[in-house]
Copies of this chain bind each other. A is one copy, B any other.
Amino acid sequence: MYRIGIDFGGTNIAVGIVNEHLEVLYKSSLPTKKDERSVDEIVADMATLCLKMVDKVGIGLSQVDAIGIASPGVVNSKTGVVEYYCGMNMNHYPMAAILSEKLGGYQPIYMENDANAAALGEVLAGAARGAKNALMITLGTGVGGGIVIDGKIYDGFNFAAAELGHTVIEKDGVPCGCGRRGCWEKYSSATGLIRMAKEEMEKCPDSAMWKLAPTLDEVNGLTPYEAAKAGDEAAKRVVAKYQDYLACGLANMVNIFQPEVLCIGGGVCGQGDNLLLPVNKQVMAEQYAKTSAKKTKLVIATLGNNAGIVGAAALGMR
């Protein structure tokens, strides 16, 4: 059994072919070049990559059980239409149908929002494997969210649910691109971490963070963590503040969902236990069901960049 998963992103289109265990056998990618060309051209590249994948395995497209596409934006999973994606000014774009056309009428092609697909990937073949109810939180440019309930993606009545990063945790706080102020993603994304590091560096000209990043433009998510490990007090404050906000938002999610597994991913999670242990301690101390024998397991995602491919490939599997 083979399935193909397409992870369509603002930077790259990554396509992988998986076996019945959802193991990625081969994958390949092309730059999206979203500002230089039409979506139709981008979908043509998806088709090319799909054909490359079946060639690699040495089968025909007809031997692929299904193709799935994980796309940013609001995706109608019933119709395969990207209802809205501001990153490419996409409105009601019938991506699944266009890809099918470019693949000689191939069916079935499933579609899902990328964060939702990643959540499904982690549930089926990653850190949340076997969980009936799980949340996936991706700490990247923003804070992405995916909800799996009873083994199925939950996307609300209009396919736009699970915008977990756009929940205000600091009323009237930092302005967010969504128009609100104080959204969780302003504090717990990698972008939020970098902002906090820069703010602290400007206050502390002696901080060791300046040695790692001689200009503010060079600050990245590693800067405060590396400097904190080396004992820098300013960096320790940044890490503590970042993790405090992260735990706050995660405890909110536990109180709402009490999921079996709460899976966090994204570059910051490369810190491993250094991040996971203190955050988990705070989440458990803050969550409401303190006396419950069964508690949400906080874990770090294991599929990494493959989560979108695996989740997309798994769409419609049951």
Contact = CB atoms under 8 A, between A and B. Distances in A.
B256 A256 contact: yes
A292 B84 contact: yes
A230 to B, nearest CB: 28
A238 interface: no
Give the size category of A's interface with B.
35 or more
Interface of A is mostly: loop
B84 A258 contact: no
Given A156-B257, A158-B295, A170 B170 contact: yes
A168 B258 contact: no
B258 A292 contact: no
A226 interface: no
B160 A289 contact: yes
Interface of A: 74, 83-84, 91, 131-133, 145, 149, 154-164, 166-171, 173, 178-180, 182, 245, 248, 251-252, 255-260, 285-286, 288-289, 291-296
9 contacts: A133-B156, A158-B295, A160-B289, A161-B255, A163-B255, A163-B288, A163-B289, A171-B182, A178-B288
**For the complex of A and B, 3 pairs with smallest distance between CB atoms:** A156-B258, A160-B289, A158-B294
Given A149-B149, A158-B258, A167-B255, 4 more contacts: A161-B256, A167-B167, A168-B251, A179-B286
